[in-house]
């Protein structure tokens, strides 16, 4: 059995496999499929609780994934400041070759769900090799303008 603790290497291998068979187009199709089908709990939490739902989802998942990060929520924003991505760290520790666009799966998976509910999302991949990234979500301004 591929254990959940071996999921990240298997996921990385799926990215490489799909990219090899069908290029970036097939890989992006896969990410959309995963975003639509695997992340229904995130969708539900954002729909029901907004920023608090994001805090609930990532508070649990990043704890279980043993991340090094700060998860922060204010009145009108939600932030994940990832210092050391557990997935990238896991692949580095195992010495496995990462899919060239491994980090791209996060901005492909999460922002489409969050923005569905009117939030603005900025996702910055800062360091692909060491797993550093930042996601900033802004609550929509009721007057129609926004600022960060």
6 is a site residue for another protein (CB under 8 A): yes
Residue with tokens 């069908």: 22
Q: Which residues pair with 81 in a beta bridge?
A: 70, 134
DSSP category for residue 98: P
Nearer to another protein, 8 or 113 (CB): 8
- The region of 14-22, 117-125, 131-139, 140-148 touching another protein under the rule CB under 8 A is 14-22
Evaluate whether 132 touches 92 at the Cβ level (below 8 Å): no
- The region of 11-19, 112-120, 125-133, 134-142 touching another protein under the rule CB under 8 A is 11-19
- The region of 22-30, 116-124, 125-133, 134-142 touching another protein under the rule CB under 8 A is 22-30
Site string for another protein, 109-148 (x = CB under 8 A): ----------------------------------------
Provide the token pair at 43: 């969708």
Q: Which residues between 44 and 103 bind another protein (CB under 8 A)?
A: 55, 59, 61-75, 84, 86, 89, 94, 96
Q: How far apart are CA 110 and CA 142, in angstroms?
A: 23
């Amino acid at each position: 059995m591929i254990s959940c603790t071996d999921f990240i290497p298997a996921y990385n291998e799926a990215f490489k496999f799909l990219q090899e068979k069908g290029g970036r187009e097939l890989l992006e199709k896969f990410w959309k499929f995963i975003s639509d089908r695997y992340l229904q709990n995130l969708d539900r939490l954002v729909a029901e609780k907004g920023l608090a739902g994001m805090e609930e989802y990532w508070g649990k998942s990043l704890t279980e994934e043993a991340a090094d990060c700060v998860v922060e929520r204010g009145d009108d924003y939600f932030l994940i400041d990832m210092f050391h991505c557990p997935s990238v760290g896991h692949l580095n520790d195992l010495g496995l070759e990462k899919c060239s666009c491994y980090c791209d799966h996060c901005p492909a998976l999460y922002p489409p769900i969050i923005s569905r509910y009117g939030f603005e999302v900025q996702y910055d991949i800062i360091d692909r090799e060491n797993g550093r990234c930042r996601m900033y979500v802004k609550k929509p301004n009721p007057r129609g303008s926004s600022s960060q």
